[in-house]
Amino acid sequence: NAGVTQTPKFQVLKTGQSMTLQCAQDMNHEYMSWYRQDPGMGLRLIHYSVGAGITDQGEVPNGYNVSRSTTEDFPLRLLSAAPSQTSVYFCASSYAAGGDTDTQYFGPGTRLTVL
Amino acid sequence: DAKTTQPTSMDCAEGRAANLPCNHSTISGNEYVYWYRQIHSQGPQYIIHGLKNNETNEMASLIITEDRKSSTLILPHATLRDTAVYYCIVRSRAQKLVFGQGTRLTINP
């Protein structure tokens, strides 16, 4: 299994541009989530999904959209990039939200800089 | 409000046991103690979790006090590759993972 994969690894955007961060997992996990991590800080939850077709907001959802059309993919869209969105973005997945098998597996991250 | 309190940083000699404390005095009966670590800029990695009893796996041991208000993560024979930020997280099964600042553990040769 490849686990959780994220693309791209690095991205530089100009203010106002839009882009999509890709996340995919091949473990048939139902639960997927996006976090951002600012320098020297812990991770903050942006959006999450408990299954295909179901998404919900996390702690810091403003400026981001998500959709979950398949179990495997959970893309994160930046609608109009702002310098405040400069961060490292991590995608995570787990077998289920809650229950005995909800250990989350994290991807390698996407390092985004907005100029 | 933070549910856990951890020291900002700790040092440990290579080959010795690293003991990382975590205070969670307001923990509820249905909340678990989880530990994750993040090795330099990588995605966080699950280590271990527990509810009441002490737990051990191939990576670490988790010791939870009888009143459940604090716990200790033990890395029995620390190596240089264990240098990382360690996060202690308290959550129920229905709650999301909430990461605090964690403890920056440095293993010294």
Give residue-wise pLDDT tens across range B31-88: 899 999 999 889 999 999 999 989 999 999 999 999 999 999 999 999 999 999 999 9
By the 8 A CB rule, do A48 and A90 touch?
no
A43 CB contacts (<8 Å, ≥6 apart)? A35, A36, A37, A90, B44, B97, B99
| Two tokens, residue A76 | 């994160």
Q: Determine the distance in angstroms separating the CA of A85 from the nearest CA of chain B, rounded to an integer.
A: 17
Q: Is the pLDDT of residue B93 over 70?
A: no
A105:B46 CB<8 A = yes
B93:A35 CB<8 A = no
B58 CB contacts (<8 Å, ≥6 apart)? none
Amino acid B28 reads: S
Q: Is the pLDDT of residue A100 over 80?
A: no
* Of residues B83, B24, B82, B74, the one with CA closest to residue B52: B24
How many CB pairs (< 8 A) connect A and B?
A: 44
By the 8 A CB rule, do A48 and A58 touch?
yes
Residue B13 forms beta bridges with which residues?
B108
Is the CB of B102 inside 8 Å of chain A's CB atoms? yes
- Distance, in Å, from the CA atom of A86 to the CA atom of A88, rounded to the nearest integer, reads 7
Is the CB of B81 inside 8 Å of chain A's CB atoms? no
H-helix or E-strand spanning residue A7? strand A4-7
Q: How confident is the model at residue A102 (pLDDT cuts 50, 70, 90)?
A: low
A58:B96 CB<8 A = yes
B82 CB contacts (<8 Å, ≥6 apart)? B18, B37, B75, B105, B107
B3 CB contacts (<8 Å, ≥6 apart)? B24, B26, B27, B31, B89, B90, B91, B98
Sheet with strand B31-38: strands edge to edge: B9-13, B103-108, B84-92, B31-38, B45-50
Is the CB of B39 inside 8 Å of chain A's CB atoms? no
Instruction: Give the A-side interface with B, CB within 8 Å.
Output: 4, 33, 35, 41-45, 48, 58-59, 88, 90, 92, 97-99, 102-109
* Of residues B94, B91, B81, the one with CA closest to residue B27: B91
Q: Determine the distance in angstroms separating the CA of B61 from the nearest CA of chain A, rounded to an integer.
A: 17
pLDDT in tens, A9-30: 999 999 999 999 999 999 999 9
Q: Determine the distance in angstroms separating the CA of A113 from the nearest CA of chain B, rounded to an integer.
A: 15
Average pLDDT over residues A32-55: 91
Q: What is the mean pLDDT of chain A?
A: 91
Provide the 3-class DSSP secondary structure of residue B88.
strand
